[in-house]
C-alpha cells in the first residue's frame, strides 16, 4: 500500500471515529431529553405526549384523549369550588422564564383578577432551587389595586410588598372586600326603603350617605362609613355621624343636642350595631 493510500485511510478512519463520537453524543442527549420529558410529563400527560408523537394510535389514543378531557373537567370543577370558597376570581396569568438550569429556575409571574368589584394585579419573581428538597422563594413583589379607598389600603400594601406575604394579601383582600360589600348593601337597602330621607351622592359603593328631611333645607346628617386595614392585615369598619347645619338653624337648637349627636350615635352603634343604629337615626330624621 502506498503512502498516499495509507494517509487517506488514516483520514477516513479519523472521520469515522469523529462521526461515531457525534452519534454517541446525540444518543446521550436524546436519552437525557427523554428522561426530562418523563420527569415532567408522567402518567396521563406522558401518554398524551406519546399520542402526539404518533406512538399511540387508534382506540388507545382515544382513551388518552378521553382521560385528558376528564382531568380538565376535574380541574375546572376544583377551580370553580375554590373561587366560591375564597371569592377571588383570576382573569389572567402570564409566566416568563428568566433563568433555567438543572439547579435553579427563576420565573416572572403576573396574576390579575378581581374580588367582588376590586380589581387587582400581582407581579413577582418565583425562584425554585432544586436539591434534597425543592425550595421556593418570592421576590420583587408588586401589587396594584384599582379601588377608590386606596388611602385605607396603602400602608398595608407597602408592608405586604416588603414581607412578600402573598397569603396575607389575598386573605386580607377578601376580608376588606366583604366589609365593603356589607356597607354597599346597607346603603342600598336604606336608600330603597327611605328614598325621601336617604341619598347617596357618590353611589352605593362610596363611604358617604346623606340623611335629610325634605322640609329642613340645608340640614344634613352625614354618615361616613370607612373600612380601615392595619399593616398586619386587620380589617375594621368605622362608622361616624357628622352634622351639616346652617348657622341660622343652629340658633334654633340647643347646642348640647347638636354637639352630642355624634357621641349618641356611637353609643347606639355599641348597643344595636351598624344597621339598627343607622335605621334609628333615619327614623328620627324622617319624623323631624
What is the per-residue pLDDT for 5?
55
pLDDT in tens, 228-251: 998 888 999 999 998 876 565 555
d(Cα 142, Cα 111) in Å, to the nearest integer? 11
Please check whether residues 193 and 245 belong to one and the same domain. yes
| CATH code (residue 119) | 2.20.130
| Vertex 285 angle, CA 284 and 288, to 5° | 90
pLDDT at 225: 93
**Containing H/E element for 96?**
strand 88-100
* pLDDT at 41 (0 to 100): 44
Query: In this structure, is residue 120 part of a structural domain?
Result: yes
Does some domain include residue 101?
A: yes
141 and 182 co-located in one domain: no
Grid cell at residue 256: 348640647
Query: Are 135 and 216 found together in one domain?
Result: no
* Exposed e or buried b per residue across 227-261, where buried means at least 16 C-beta atoms within 10 angstroms of its C-beta: bbbeeebebeeebebeeebeeeeeeeeeeeeeeeb
Q: How far apart are CA 175 and CA 232, in angstroms?
A: 13
**Comparing C-alpha atoms, which of 226, 246, 244, 245 is closest to residue 236?**
226
pLDDT at site 34: 55
In a shared domain, residues 190 and 264: yes
Q: How far is it, in rounded angstroms, from Cα 227 to Cα 172?
A: 12
Range of the domain at 132: 87-146
Amino acid 74: pLDDT? 74
Q: Rounded to 5 degrees, what angle do the CA atoms 15, 21, 25 make?
A: 145
> Quick check: is 169 in a domain?
no
188 within a domain of the structure (yes/no): yes
193 and 265 in a single domain? The answer is yes
Total domains present in the chain? 2
Q: Are residues 198 and 240 in the same domain?
A: yes
The segments of the chain whose pLDDT lies below 70 read 1-23, 25-61, 64, 72, 76, 79, 82-84, 132, 147-150, 245-259, 288
DSSP character at residue 165: -
Q: Domain end: 146, 168, 184, which one?
A: 146
Distance of CA 198 to the CA centre of its chain: 34
Output the CA angle 123-136-113, nearest 5 degrees: 30
Amino acid at each position: 500500500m502506498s503512502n498516499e493510500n495509507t494517509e487517506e485511510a488514516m483520514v477516513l478512519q479519523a472521520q469515522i471515529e469523529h462521526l461515531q463520537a457525534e452519534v454517541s453524543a446525540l444518543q446521550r442527549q436524546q436519552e437525557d431529553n427523554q428522561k426530562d420529558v418523563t420527569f415532567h410529563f408522567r402518567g396521563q400527560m406522558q401518554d398524551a405526549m406519546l399520542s402526539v408523537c404518533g406512538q399511540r394510535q387508534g382506540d388507545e389514543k382515544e382513551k388518552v384523549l378521553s382521560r385528558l378531557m376528564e382531568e380538565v373537567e376535574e380541574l375546572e370543577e376544583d377551580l370553580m369550588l375554590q373561587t366560591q370558597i375564597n371569592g377571588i376570581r383570576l382573569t389572567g396569568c402570564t409566566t416568563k422564564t428568566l433563568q433555567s438550569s438543572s439547579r435553579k429556575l427563576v420565573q416572572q409571574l403576573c396574576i390579575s383578577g378581581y374580588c367582588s368589584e376590586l380589581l387587582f394585579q400581582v407581579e413577582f419573581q418565583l425562584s425554585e432551587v432544586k436539591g434534597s428538597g425543592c425550595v421556593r422563594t418570592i421576590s420583587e413583589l408588586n401589587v396594584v389595586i384599582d379601588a377608590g379607598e386606596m388611602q385605607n389600603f396603602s400602608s398595608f400594601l407597602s408592608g405586604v410588598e416588603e414581607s412578600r406575604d402573598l397569603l396575607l394579601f389575598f386573605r386580607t383582600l377578601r376580608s376588606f372586600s366583604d366589609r365593603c360589600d356589607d356597607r354597599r348593601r346597607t346603603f342600598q337597602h336604606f336608600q330603597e326603603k327611605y328614598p325621601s330621607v336617604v341619598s347617596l351622592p357618590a353611589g352605593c359603593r362610596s363611604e358617604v350617605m346623606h340623611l335629610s328631611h325634605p322640609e329642613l333645607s340645608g340640614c344634613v346628617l352625614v354618615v361616613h362609613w370607612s373600612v380601615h386595614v392595619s399593616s398586619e392585615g386587620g380589617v375594621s369598619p368605622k362608622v361616624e355621624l357628622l352634622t351639616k347645619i346652617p348657622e341660622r338653624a343652629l340658633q334654633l337648637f340647643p347646642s348640647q343636642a347638636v354637639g352630642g349627636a355624634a357621641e349618641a350615635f356611637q353609643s347606639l352603634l355599641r348597643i344595636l350595631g351598624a344597621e339598627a343604629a343607622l335605621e334609628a337615626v333615619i327614623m328620627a330624621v324622617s319624623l323631624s
